[in-house]
Copies of this chain bind each other. A is one copy, B any other.
Amino acid sequence: MKYIDIPKHEIETQLSGLIKEYGRYMGMGLKLDMSRGKPCPEQLDLSKMLLIDETGYKAKNGFDCRNYGVLDGIEEAKSFFAGIMDVPTGNVIVGGNSSLNMMFDIIAQGMSKGFGEGAWAKEDKIKFLCPAPGYDRHFAITEYFGFEMINIPMQADGPDMDMIEESIKDPAVKGIWCVPKYSNPEGTTYSDEVVKRMSALKPAAKDFNILYDNAYAVHHLNDTPDTLLNIFDECKKNGTEDMLLQFASTSKITFAGSGMSAVAASDNTIKKLKARLTLQTIGSDKINQLRHCRMFNSPEALMKHMAEHAKIIAPKFEVVLSKLEAQLAPLDIARWTKPNGGYFVSFYAQKGCASRIATLCKDAGMVLTPAGASYPYGVDPDDSNIRIAPTFPPLTELDVAMDLFCLAVKIATLEKMKEGQNT
């Protein structure tokens, strides 16, 4: 009978019958979930050839990593990054294959929504502090969003803290880019004093962020690695932990474009990031997190793996440094860094020579990072710095490359001297 045809006096009778029936379900202790359009395990089985091996697809807590869910990463992946950055596991969010993408998104969040002080897009001028030479892709992000970038000179122990402490009195200064360990391209590790002063900053802008790209935390080249004071702890001491966003990734641990990234931050900041993240994605690639965590099932496994990396690339750094030493040191026309880790040697020619050196190399078939690339807007005020990236070329190529490079430095320097003579 259609419900509309039920006589009014019968509604109550029917209803109480149904409610009795409903009582049975109430007593069954059901846990049924039909809320989301999730594939079932049998559907996921169809794609098992995408799994690495037969060790299964479940996280330590039993979660089926093939399906949706787990916004901030599986526990073992968070723990992996907590180890690298030396922070509590609960202060980590694991992201996709690119920590750069996480940083971009933080800036985009500043622009579109802000950090409690209104959207930056509405303000006339946003400024960002850029220790230089630094990572070109950091600067490219702040340039894209139209920020004014302020050069902060890099010194032997990190960026010029006096200048930073002065600059942050301007409320338009909303953040700073940092690569605190084996910095790109200097190979510098921030001294304890720099870390302490950085963590004690009291910026005029309440929505100021330290974007702390700890990209080379475990990337040592030799047996005398640098050590970096734990800024997370220092910020806590100073009550400044909410302005710190620390990043890491496995890009230079496993596969460059197929790894995992992470951000570490204070409880407050993690909560805010998650509130946004829950709208952005249903979670990062947990199968890839599993792959990594099974490979690095202990801190020792990671250390051993990084030592293998060093065995491959330390000889390449050695070629670069020994060639520079033999061919250029006697001439006293340049200086360069000798890092204990990271991916670069930072080279300083005499003023006004870097572009010419790059051109000479390029014309002979050797691509260098463009001169000036390590500075905001791609402009090195001294036209002196060149970033040398020794890891990729085979040793034999590197040998030729460094001969050519040293030659180009000599030519450019002499040309400059000749020019000085003529004027």
Contacts and interface: CB of A to CB of B under 8 A. Distances in A.
Interface of A: 1-4, 6, 8, 11-12, 14-15, 18-19, 21-22, 25-26, 28-40, 42-44, 46-47, 49-52, 65-70, 96-98, 100-101, 104-105, 108-109, 111-113, 119, 121-122, 137, 140-141, 144-145, 184, 251-258, 276, 279-288, 291-292, 295, 305, 308-309, 312-313, 316, 330-333, 342-344, 360, 363-370, 388-394, 397-398, 400-401, 404, 407-408, 410-411, 413-415, 417-418, 421
Contact of A15 (B6, B65, B333, B415): B415
Contact of A50 (B69, B113, B254): B254
Interface centre among A111, A292, A400 (most CB of B within 10 A): A111
Contacts of A288: 258, 285, 288
Nearest to A44: B255
B50 A11 contact: no
A305 B418 CA distance: 71
B18 A258 contact: no
A364 B25 contact: yes
Nearest to A107: B112
B280 A257 contact: no
A421 B113 contact: no
B414 A34 contact: no
Contact of A68 (B25, B257, B342, B388): B257
A286 B258 contact: yes
A113 to B, nearest CB: 7
Given A11-B414, A38-B256, A42-B312, A401 B32 contact: yes
Nearest to A112: B111
Given A97-B285, A257-B67, A295-B49, A32 B397 contact: yes
B257 A283 contact: yes
Nearest to A33: B367
B29 A369 contact: no
Contact of A2 (B100, B282, B330, B369): B330
A367 B32 contact: yes
Contacts of A26: 363-365
27 contacts: A6-B414, A22-B404, A25-B364, A26-B363, A30-B364, A30-B366, A30-B401, A30-B404, A32-B366, A34-B393, A35-B370, A37-B252, A38-B256, A43-B391, A46-B309, A47-B305, A49-B295, A50-B254, A65-B257, A67-B255, A68-B251, A98-B280, A100-B282, A101-B280, A101-B281, A257-B286, A288-B288
A186 to B, nearest CB: 13
Contacts of A390: 34
A138 B140 CA distance: 30
Contact of A281 (B2, B11, B100, B394): B100
A252 B66 CA distance: 11
B332 A280 contact: no
A39 B258 CA distance: 13
A218 to B, nearest CB: 13
Nearest to A358: B35
B50 A292 contact: yes
Contacts of A280: 98, 100-101, 104-105
B257 A34 contact: no
Contacts of A254: 46-47, 50
Given A3-B331, A66-B258, A122-B122, A391 B285 contact: no
A66 B258 CA distance: 7
